[in-house]
Amino acid sequence: MTRIRKQLPAFPGAGELRCRGFKGQVDYEILGDPGSLRPGPARLRGSLSSTPEIAEQAFRDGDGELTLQSGETYRITMLGHSTGSSVAYFEMRA
C-alpha cells in the first residue's frame, strides 16, 4: 500500500538573516508552521532568497539566525546552495 505524504503548508515572508559574514534582509519560504516549533530536536526546512553572493556567503557560514516577519528568531543550519543561485536551503529549530 502506498503512503501519501502530507504536504506541509508554505510560509513565505521577508525577514532578517544574521550570520558571520552578513546581516540584512532576505526573503524566505518555510515548509511547515514555524509557530509549531518547540525547543528540542524537531526541525523545519526552508529556503532563503537574496543575491547570489549573499546566498553563497550564508551557505559558507554554515549557520546563523533568521528573524521572521512576526519577530520570532530561529537558529538555522544551512543545507545547500548551487553556485550562482540566489537561493540557499536551511533547517531551522527553536
Establish if 37 belongs to a structural domain: yes
Is residue 34 situated within a structural domain?
yes
DSSP 25-57: EEEEEEES-GGG--SSS--EEEEEES-HHHHHH
Q: Whole-prediction pTM value?
A: 0.88
Domain coverage including residue 42: 20-65+73-93
Res. 37 pLDDT band, cuts 50 70 90: confident
Q: Is residue 84 part of a domain?
A: yes
At 8 the pLDDT is 82
In-domain check, residue 5: no
Q: Specify whether the CB–CB gap between 84 and 30 falls below 8 A.
A: no
Q: Is residue 25 part of a domain?
A: yes
Q: Is the pLDDT of residue 21 over 90?
A: no
Dist. CA 71–CA 78, nearest whole Å: 21
Q: How many domains does the chain have?
A: 1
Does any domain span residue 4?
no
